[in-house]
Amino acid sequence: MEIDEELFDRVIRINLKGPFLVTREILPDMLAASWGRIINITSSSTQSGSSRQVHYVSSKGGLLGMTKALALEYAASGITVNMVPPGFIDTPMLRAAPVDIDAYAASMPMKRIGRPEDIAAACAFLASDQSSYITGQTISTNGGRYMGSA
């Protein structure tokens, strides 16, 4: 009830429309090269939900759907499209949030919060030639917060 239409639209523009516009700009060059890697940063909240964040979860959930649709559309063209949904990552924004970081970390299966390097490593793999047969997939980088079904 606290999320007004202006905030909802702003978050959708940033988290969903922004990646759409960037992807639309880079696809012609990727198609011409018959090669490309698109890696979208979604959120572990799209997998588990998050109270009081319907605007954020909706925007990242839309990005999840966009990733899957693009992966299907461009799979035969040498372009892969995947996503990395970070979990609780040690960033300045997290440090500024009104949350008990240590208590949350203690509740995690790995008993720590993630590092930006953890996300970078997942993205580096998806950007590499070693991931050439992976598309439309989620590399959940969340310390075990969410474990999807097989």
Q: Hey, which residues are catalytic here?
A: 56
Tokens of 113: 């919060």
Q: Cβ–Cβ contacts within 10 Å for residue 133, how many?
A: 6
Task: Using alpha carbons, select from 25, 138, 15 the residue that is nearest to residue 81.
Answer: 138
Q: Is the dihedral of CA 76, 78, 79, 84 positive or negative?
A: positive
Q: Cβ–Cβ contacts within 10 Å for residue 76, how many?
A: 8
Residues 6 or more apart whose CB falls under 8 angstroms from that of 56 comprise: 11, 15, 43, 45, 50
Tokens of 150: 């097989």
